[in-house]
Amino acid sequence: MPRPRVRLGDLSVGFVQPLTETLSQLGHDPTTLLRRYGLDPARLAEVGARLSIPRYMHLGHAAIELSGEPALGLQMGRRSRLAQAGLAGVTAAQAPTLGEAARTLLRFEPLYAANYRGQSSFLADGRGAWLRFYSISPYNTYNRFVVDSLLAGWLAQLSDLVGIAVRAERLEIEFEAPDYAGHYQVLCNNPVQFAAQTNQLRLSNATLALTNPQHCPSTWHHLLQLCEAELAQRTRVRSLGERITHLLGPLLSGGREPDLEEVARRLQLPTWTLRRKLAEEGTQFRSLLNDTRRDLAETYIRDTELALGEIAYLLGFASAEAFQRAFKRWTGRTPGEFRRSHRQTGQSSVASSTGSGGSSS
């Protein structure tokens, strides 16, 4: 049986809805743009339909170019509704309080969005909570709108839940302040911090305690059970090797590669036990690491506009040269040759691909 390919991630086609509504509000017909990305009405209505992360980023970039609105992501966020997050969003909409809704939305994020870089988190303390979105650096015109739309979307979704405008106590964003930085201030009661350590917003205990007038206890608990069952099914893994591959993605970055000892700690296994169990499955840690890096490298080169040095950084290589040597060893071609071949054949054009069913990357 061929090993499963590692993909950058995907998300529900429900995320396209606020984008199309924003374009329409700005006076642009989104139909042609959506069809270019294989998103006709039938696709958008398909149960469980997902859109690959690279394609979504290209779609957003194209929408920004069409509208001439660099702050499009923030405008998209203001049109986000919980139902666009599928079952997880509908469940969050039945939570008793705003805090429980936020916790539910982030806990069940894998039901509507998955990214190998990590998962959003709800981090509560004695005075409030942080809603954190993982890093997707390096940032460029293809991915800043994702952070914009998500952080603004969380606040819009929670505002809709309780019927009043919800603003963050603090808002921190990883990338440098863009030209449209002033547009963020409506989201926060205090100055927005750019070039921060992570992407996150802070809600006070008073905000978290706001009650949901639509809460129905029996429906809430029923929906929670459905989410737990679907999450268990979606995150089910069949082997130790698959569990390790799932762990490696978020650990790859910053010019360093994860080692066997680090992965063993995360799996709460002795190193020797992990090595033995992998041998029983007929594989080794180094093989899993190389396979993961190769799959992600091919996807980055084919489906994104990232420079080769940026890709090397994202995959944990100490230098672009080390990455290029490894890629040549894996594929028999340099990264530049691989990218050019896909440009020439059109296979790398996310904009022209249509896809059907599931994700594409």
Give the Cα separation of 245 and 30 in Å (integer). Answer: 37
Q: What pLDDT is recorded for position 345?
A: 60
CATH code of 341's domain: 1.10.10.60
Residue 3: inside a domain, yes or no? no
Residue 357: inside a domain, yes or no? no
Torsion, Cα of 112, 118, 119, 122 (10° steps): -170
pLDDT band at 357 (very low <50, low <70, confident <90, very high): very low
Residues 229 and 265 in one domain: no
Residues 91 and 207 in one domain: yes
Give the Cα separation of 102 and 92 in Å (integer). Answer: 7
Number of domains forming the structure of the chain: 2
Residues 146 and 259 in one domain: no
Residue 4: inside a domain, yes or no? no
Q: What pLDDT is recorded for position 249?
A: 78
Domain that holds residue 344: 240-352
Q: What pLDDT is recorded for position 140?
A: 86
CATH code of 89's domain: 3.90.1520
Residue where a domain terminates, one of 177, 202, 234? 234
Residue where a domain terminates, one of 234, 257, 280? 234
294 vs 130, higher pLDDT: 130
Residue 221: inside a domain, yes or no? yes
Give the Cα separation of 296 and 43 in Å (integer). Answer: 26
Residues 135 and 22 in one domain: yes
Amino acid found at 82 = L
Three-state SS for 246?
Answer: helix
Residue 126 has pLDDT above 70, yes or no: yes
Q: What pLDDT is recorded for position 356?
A: 33
DSSP 152-189: HHHHHHHHHHHTS---BSEEE-SSPP-TTGGGGGGGBS
pLDDT band at 351 (very low <50, low <70, confident <90, very high): very low
Residue 326 has pLDDT above 90, yes or no: yes
Q: Which of 228, 177, 170 is nearest to 203 (CA)?
A: 170
Q: Are 105 and 82 in contact (CB under 8 A)?
A: yes
Residues 186 and 250 in one domain: no
Q: Which of 26, 25, 43, 47 is nearest to 34 (CA)?
A: 43
Residue 348 has pLDDT above 60, yes or no: no
Q: What pLDDT is recorded for position 353?
A: 38
Residues 199 and 258 in one domain: no
Q: What would the pLDDT profile of 201-249 be if each residue is shown by its tens digit? A: 999 999 999 999 999 999 999 999 999 999 988 777 668 888 888 888 7
Q: What pLDDT is recorded for position 313?
A: 87
Q: What pLDDT is recorded for position 304?
A: 82
Residue 304: inside a domain, yes or no? yes
Give the Cα separation of 127 and 359 in Å (integer). Answer: 40
pLDDT band at 255 (very low <50, low <70, confident <90, very high): low
The 3-class secondary structure across 44-57, one letter per residue, is: HCCCCCEEEHHHHH
Residues 35 and 166 in one domain: yes
Residues 228 and 252 in one domain: no
Indicate the burial class of 312 (C-beta count within 10 angstroms; 0-12, 13-18, 19 or more): buried
Q: Which of 338, 300, 304 is nearest to 317 (CA)?
A: 300
Residues 137 and 45 in one domain: yes
% the chain with pLDDT above 90: 67
pLDDT band at 257 (very low <50, low <70, confident <90, very high): confident
Residues 300 and 158 in one domain: no
Residue 62: inside a domain, yes or no? yes
Residue 134 has pLDDT above 50, yes or no: yes
Q: Are 73 and 133 in contact (CB under 8 A)?
A: no
Amino acid found at 352 = S
Residues 256 and 122 in one domain: no
| Mean pLDDT computed over every residue of the chain | 89
Residues 249 and 227 in one domain: no
Residue where a domain terminates, one of 234, 250, 272? 234
Q: Are 102 and 129 in contact (CB under 8 A)?
A: yes
Residue 359: inside a domain, yes or no? no
Q: What pLDDT is recorded for position 21?
A: 97
pLDDT band at 118 (very low <50, low <70, confident <90, very high): confident
Torsion, Cα of 102, 106, 109, 111 (10° steps): -50
Q: Which of 23-27, 137-141, 265-269, 340-344 has the highest mean pLDDT?
A: 23-27
Q: What pLDDT is recorded for position 70?
A: 96
Give the Cα separation of 114 and 219 in Å (integer). Answer: 26
Query: Residue range 293-314: average pLDDT?
Result: 87
Query: Residue range 163-169: average pLDDT?
Result: 97
Q: What pLDDT is recorded for position 344?
A: 64
Residue 124: inside a domain, yes or no? yes
Give the Cα separation of 338 and 47 in Å (integer). Answer: 35
